[in-house]
Structure 1
Amino acid sequence: MLDSGTVALPDSQRRALLKKDSLWQKALRVHYRALVFDGHADTPTLMAEEGYDIGPRHAPAEAHLDLPRMKEGGLDAVFFSIYVPSYLGEGRRASARARRLIRTTKQQLEKHSGRAALATSAEEVRRLARNGKRAVLLGLEGGHALAASEDTLRALARQGVRYVTLTHIGTTSWADAATDTPRHGGLAPKGEDLVRAMNDAGVLVDLSHASDSTFYDALAVSRAPVILSHSSARALTPEARNVTDDMLRALAENNGLVMINFYDEYVEQPGGGPAALEDVLDHLDHAAQVAGVEHVGLGSDFDGVPRLPAGLGDATRLPWLTYGLLKRGYTAEEVYKILGGNALRVLEAAESRAAKPERDDSVAAARRR
């Protein structure tokens, strides 16, 4: 939570909302005082491939996120996805793609340094938010870009990467993906080593896109909380990319975090027609009921999906989630956690684990046998 917050919605819209429902007065106060943190946006791909500029305001049909709309929607921090397509394999092309997107993102942040900056820690996120700047963090989407190399992982961490999504749509040489043929029954031994190396480097282990077996194997190995940066609840929407209730409970035991994806195909009700904002609220609510409020966050997948739910078409619509959560009976403190407090917690936990890199080598050896 921030010390204060100015409502950034247009005055006419704010007045209309307050006239419609008195709860909006509380919702706007809570939302713009919160530190709102999105776990996943694919905007760097647009920047690198289409010359997209996050500085000016764009129409929702063009993109979901830019700096003006982040401000209007109260979005203080976002993980920009360093997305590496699976077809690039695990060699130089994949690593080069990652470096290119990191370089492009940093160039954009330098261009707009008065409004946004790279953050590599929870404290940097808080400091930027206090100063009215947007915090951008880097998450590598596609562990194949590591080329199964701990040295490459550490090099990317030095460049600012703070989470690694173990797989994308394809199974790698060391981890099975949710949407591909399994080869390892979860994590291969090399995958276990890489998870430990992520812990030591202060890099969060992201299990979105991972198979169920990979998910459980990673939880067994990781000494720090893990995240699902953009996944939803399989009990409501039976997609392989979503997580089961048992997985949500296991995530809570790990003290981890599921960041609910907004993509309509991952939140729509079977046979219920196109998704709407209420469906995203249903997934947030379900995850909170199963895993606990402390283990739920936002992972929009902005700029990475072709369709978003009605009423949630871009970053300016985030206050409607706050209103919806309050309408469902969540307290302000619970909403602060879901909007961003939980994301800061797991980021701090990863930093703390990296500061104490020693591990029980006998346990590690036993797991390899």
Structure 2
Amino acid sequence: MSIPVIDFHCDVLSKMREDSRISFQNDPKLDVTYERLRQGEVSLQCFAIYLSEHWGIPRYEYILDQIDAFKSRVMTAGEGVRWLRWKEDAAELRQAIENANQATMPRRRPWGLLSVEGADGFEGNLYYVRMCHELGVRFLGITWNYANWAADGALESRNGGFTEKGKKLIDLCNEIGLLLDVSHLSEAGFWELTERTARPFIASHSNAKAICPHPRNLTDDQIRAIVAMNGRIGLTFVPWFVREGKGTAVRPEDLLPHIEHVCSLGGEDHLMLGSDFDGIDSWIEHLEHPGRYPAFAELLCKHYAETSVRKWFAGNALSYLNTHLPEKGTSGAGQI
């Protein structure tokens, strides 16, 4: 059985910025490598641009550093990771996924997609946001866990929403087509965004709070809201987002209640994957890196129809991208 994968979140690029010696080819310091993408049949990996708290005051150059790492170190590994930025790319990826089970088709090179995790590094400058979209970034997670110039994060105790400049950020992203990600956004900010956005957003790496009550997980009302707007929810493999209890071994089977709960709220066509590989220092047993995806697919196919598993592994994410990515040559996208 061959089931292609789209994974909507990993933190490889921040690790590569911290250590210039890391090779994306097959470095043991990484969860996600070129060889593991091929091993796990990952057709598309989304690479987050994350600015670590340990780096001091967030700066735009740290975002540019990671875009450069993607171009110079990720895209050059192995046979080369291709950069997905346009609807035309999504159409080509769809064709590759549809042909994945044909034995006569050669195995395709994986694609990469760029997101920014937290608007902190834009330094409150909306021109930087516009330029980042023109450079090829297609998703923006508005916050990390805490407050920044745009909004409060999910772990900010006051649970504030958007600042005035943050509201202008939403409007700019709607204008240029920079898609928004609410995985680290406060609940108050989530509901403000549902009222202001013109485009459906995603939660790239969040699970169901009803199953595991971590503040980064989504409430039932939030899940229903994302489903209603035809957004997407990325099932994540962060052990403490999957199951309560410190030191408790978490297994792939523990993800099934999250899948079932999201689907019970109407989310079968809205669920995707957002592993958070390389953003964690402990892992689900037997789901420690992309090379484990085929075994995970086999497990899910014992409990669900293969057609559903294919949607969760790639189809739902791909249909969202095919609808919302800009067309090549669109004004304001990719002109720099």
- What's the TM-score once normalised by structure 1's chain length? 0.80
User: What is the deviation of 1:341?
Assistant: 1.6
Look up the match of 1:257.
Answer: 232
Q: 2:223 aligns with which of 236, 248, 253?
A: 248
Aligned equivalent of 2:131? 155
Aligned to 1:139: 115
CA RMSD of aligned residues (A): 2.5
Determine helix, strand or coil for the equivalent of 2:265: helix
Determine which structure has more spread, i.e. the larger CA radius of gyration: 1
Task: Give deviations 1:279-299, integer Å, cap 9, x for gaps.
Answer: 123222322222421111100
Call closer, same or farther: CA 1:253–1:110 in 2, change over 3 Å. Answer: closer
Deviations 1:291-342 (CA, angstroms, capped at 9, x unpaired): 421111100000110011111111111123322322112x232222211121
- Asked whether 1:169 is paired with 2:145, we answer yes
How far off is 1:105 after superposition?
A: 1.1
Point out which structure has higher relative CO (alpha carbons under 8 A, 6+ apart): 2
Which residue matches 1:37? 6
Matched, 1:280 2:255: yes
| Mapped contact 1:141–1:165 kept (Cα < 8 A) | yes
Look up the equivalent residue of 2:118 and give its one-letter code. Answer: G
What is the number of residues matched between the two proteins? Answer: 319
**Using a 3 Å threshold, how does the CA distance of structure 1 residues 174 and 190 change in structure 2: closer, same or farther?**
same
Structure 2 residue corresponding to 1:341, chosen from 312, 315, 329:
315
User: Alpha carbons of 1:110 and 1:76: their partners in 2 closer, same or farther (altered >3 Å)?
Assistant: closer
| Amino acid aligned to 1:107 | S
Deviation at 1:126, TM superposition (A): 4.9
**Contact 1:268 1:276 survives alignment (8 Å):** no
- Kindly tell me: are residues 127 and 297 of structure 1, through their superposed partners in 2, closer, same or farther at Cα, counting changes over 3 Å? same
Aligned residue identity for 2:49: I
CA contact (8 A) 2:85 2:325 kept: no
Residue identity in the other structure for 2:67: I
CA displacement, residues 190-232 of structure 1 (integer Å, 9 cap, x when unaligned): 2222112112222210001111111111111111110111111
Structure 1 residue 86 displacement after superposition: 4.8
Query: Is the CA contact (8 Å cut-off) linking 2:119 and 2:150 kept in structure 1?
Result: no
- AA partner of residue 127 (structure 1): E
TM-score, normalised with respect to structure 2: 0.87
- Distance in 1 separating the partners of 2:43 and 2:66: 21
Query: Aligned partners of 1:111, 1:43: CA distance in 2, in Å?
Result: 15
State the alpha-carbon separation in 1 of the partners of residues 43 and 8 from structure 2. Answer: 11
Aligned to 2:104: none
Q: Does 2:33 match 1:53?
A: no
Query: In the aligned structure 2, how far is the partner of 1:112 from the partner of 1:348?
Result: 26
Contact (CA 8 Å) 1:237, 1:270: kept in 2 or not? Answer: no
Q: In the TM superposition, what are the counterparts of 1:2-21 in structure 2 within 5 Å?
A: none
Counterpart CA distance in 1 for 2:258 and 2:127 is 38
Contact 1:45 1:82 in 2 (8 A): yes
Q: By how many angstroms is 1:88 displaced? A: 5.9
Superposition pairs of residues 119-268 of structure 1, within 5 angstroms: 119-127=84-92, 130=96, 132-182=108-158, 185-268=160-243
Contact 2:87 2:328 in 1 (8 A): no
Partner of 1:305: 280
- Report the more deviating stretch, 168-177 or 300-309: 168-177
Once the two structures are overlaid, the 10-residue window that deviates more, 238-247 or 168-177, is: 168-177
Cα separation, partners in 2 of 1:122 and 1:344, compared to 1, 3 Å = farther
Find the partner of 2:42 among 54, 75, 80: 75
Instruction: For residue 355 of structure 1, report the CA deviation from its aligned partner.
Output: 10
CA 1:173–1:138 in structure 2 vs 1: closer, same or farther (change >3 Å)? same
Instruction: Report matched runs for 1:323-338 at 5 Å.
Output: 323-329=298-304, 331-338=305-312
Match of 1:360? none
- Shift of the alpha carbon at 1:236? 1.0
Contact 1:269 1:275 (8 Å CA) reproduced = no
The answer to which of 122-131 and 251-260 deviates more is: 122-131
**In the alignment, which residue of structure 2 is the partner of 1:293?**
268
Distance 1:145 1:311 in 2: 35
Structure 1: runs of 5+ lacking an equivalent: 1-27, 358-369
